[in-house]
Amino acid sequence: MLVWSRWGRGGLWALLALIVGVFYVLPLAVIALASVAGEWNGMLPRALTLANYAGVLHGDSGGQLRVSLVTGAVASAIALVVGTWAAIALRAIAPAPRRLLDILFFVPSAVPSVSIGLGLLVAFSQPPVLLNGTVAIVVIAHLVLVSAFSYGNVSAGLARLSPEFEEVAASLGARPGYRLRHVTLPLIQPYLIAAFSLSFAMSMGELGATAMVYPPGWVTMPVGIFALTDRGDVFQAAALTMLLALSTLVVLVGLSLVPTRSSNR
């Protein structure tokens, strides 16, 4: 306890309540309330309705939920495979080149998303590969943006992994492929799940690169939300934002409940 006086403590708690209330609770509460508001001209909405949700689910936005979920799942899955592969393969490399390669795999996280989108547009609007206007370019943009986080999470897991398990397995004659499937990957499973979860959450909320590359037939929720606010359909925008946040959280909570080996024991 840093502060002993009752007044001092009370004052600090009041300060914290004020900060958390103004910066975090109020925005969440307001957007949740706006998503069920029929009309709102004062402190509180005049009427509550589910029409906004019905509107976004039946209109264009229903498809956008599916587009976002598919893009997020596919991009995160590929990023997980590539990132895990890279992190595991890097362990066989000598320390000096390994440090350099490690930085290379992290660099995509430092580049602004809009520039990643611009690069993909420039690169794949000309031969040899034409992808402009396809679904693939959106998935690739998301894959590039989340790849560093997948890689980072898996390498953090591998760094904490005690080498003895793999050494014992190897000394018992387990071949590398068997060792990978039955020893290494199960041991770092929590990190694999964390990597996928973070990638998925980032992909669901991605806007900068998507705005650069999306074709008219593959509109993600963030792009759809922007279109709604731009049109002035603010309550439907709030409903779609809530839908985006809730669907992300449902997937994250679901993934956190996946039983792992360490929790079974």
Least separation, in Å, of the C-beta of 161 and another protein? Answer: 9
Evaluate the CA torsion angle 43, 48, 50, 55 in order and state its sign: negative
Measured from the CB atom, the residue of 14 and 264 that comes closer to another protein is 14
Judged by CB, which is closer to another protein: 95, or 216? Answer: 95
Provide, rounded to whole angstroms, the least separation between the CB of residue 230 and another protein: 8
Instruction: Dump strand ranges (E) for 22-76.
Output: 37-39, 47-48
Q: How far apart are CA 185 and CA 189, in angstroms?
A: 6
- Is residue 104 within 8 Å of 98, Cβ to Cβ? no
Q: Which is nearer to another protein, 54 or 250 (CB)?
A: 250
Burial of 253 (0-12, 13-18, 19+ CB in 10 A): exposed
The residue (of 47 and 104) whose beta carbon lies closer to another protein is 104
Minimum separation from the CB atom of position 29 to another protein (A): 9
**E strand intervals along the chain:** 37-39, 47-48
CB of 110 to another protein, least distance (A): 4
Smallest CA-to-CA distance from 190 within 261, 116, 98, 125 is with 261
User: Please, which residue, 65 or 245, has the CB nearer to another protein?
Assistant: 245
CB of 150 to another protein, least distance (A): 11
Nearer to another protein, 189 or 247 (CB): 247
DSSP string for 74-127: HHHHHHHHHHHHHHHHHTTS-HHHHHHHHHHHHGGGGS-HHHHHHHHHHHTTST
Task: Give the bridge partners for 37, in sequence order.
Answer: 48
Shortest distance, position 70 Cβ to another protein, whole Å: 17
